[in-house]
Amino acid sequence: MSQTAAATADTNPNTLAANAPSGRVTKRAGTWTRFRQHKLALIGVCTLFILVVLAVGSPWIAPNDPYKTSLRAISKPPSSEHWLGTDASGRDVFARVTLAGRVSLQVGLVAVSIYTTIGVVVGALAGFYGGLVDSSLMRLADIFLAFPSLIIIITLVSVLGPSMWNIMAVIGLLGWPPIARIVRGQFLSLREQEFVLASRTVGSRGRRIMFRHLLPNALAPVIVAATFGMASAILLEAGLSFLGLGVQPPTPTWGNMLTDAQSLTILQNMLWLWIPPGVMIALAVLSINFIGDGLRDALDPHHTR
């Protein structure tokens, strides 16, 4: 009799409803579980965390001043005093390479934040309203995509002047079309769903439907695209700084530290001047790409690696 009562209690709809976790909690747990199964993504998270700690804590981690020059320590190899040696001005390479992470990571984060915001707004308007609004905004995106972005960025930075803020602004203002296309596609498929029709029925306004109901369901591919975009922005900043169009010395960045590698003598005999910033760029880009790959698998269960 007790077994029958227990079985009845277990199959009672009210009991099941009380014990069942919410859909949001289940979804979050499933996403985190899938992300943890991606080993390279976890390695990327740990690597990026170390790079951020080195960049933020550079004044306390590095024993020497990154801006201090010394005629007695010009182009010295690694030693106990200078862990990664010194450059042609006698400045400590370890202190400079850790401090340079601040600029490179900041450029990637801010530039991606700018063009992701623009892309989300443009894509949401185009996908939700359609018609003339959609056609006009997508033709504008096509115009931006029709021109080689690297050449335009180099031209604009040359006109505006090389600085960190100009690089972030130029990359941010030119990189939004891919994000806008992703958001537009998501909105076109979501705006005909039943929950949107239900919101319209109860009198919800267009802005509320767009940003309260549609946008949260369209963020997964945007997050993945923004993650990969941050890696691309870091590479672009490094390339511009290497060409002398990025952040100017004495402020260190991984890109302008590589300008010393243009000499064959330095490439062969002074490896400590170009290997550390090159390794930092590679680690940052690879870790962010691994995280993006893990997010893609976690947020899209139907994706097969």
Complete DSSP assignment for 152-221: HHHHHHHHH-S-HHHHHHHHHHHS-HHHHHHHHHHHHHHTTSHHHHHHHHTT--HHHIIIIIIHHHHHHH
In whole numbers, what is the pLDDT of the chain averaged over residues? 82
Question: pTM for the whole thing?
Answer: 0.80
- The model's pLDDT over 55-113, given as tens digits with 9 standing for 90+, comes to 999 889 988 888 888 888 888 888 888 888 888 888 999 999 999 998 889 988 999 99
**pLDDT at 17 (0 to 100):** 41
Q: Which two tokens stand for residue 72?
A: 């007695």
- The model's pLDDT over 171-223, given as tens digits with 9 standing for 90+, comes to 989 989 999 999 998 888 887 777 777 777 776 676 777 877 788 888 888 98
SS3 77: coil
**pLDDT at 180 (0 to 100):** 93
Q: Which two tokens stand for residue 305?
A: 């690696």
**pLDDT at 29 (0 to 100):** 53
- Which percentage of the chain shows pLDDT scores above 70? 88
Q: What is the dihedral of CA 143, 148, 152, 154, to 10 degrees?
A: 170
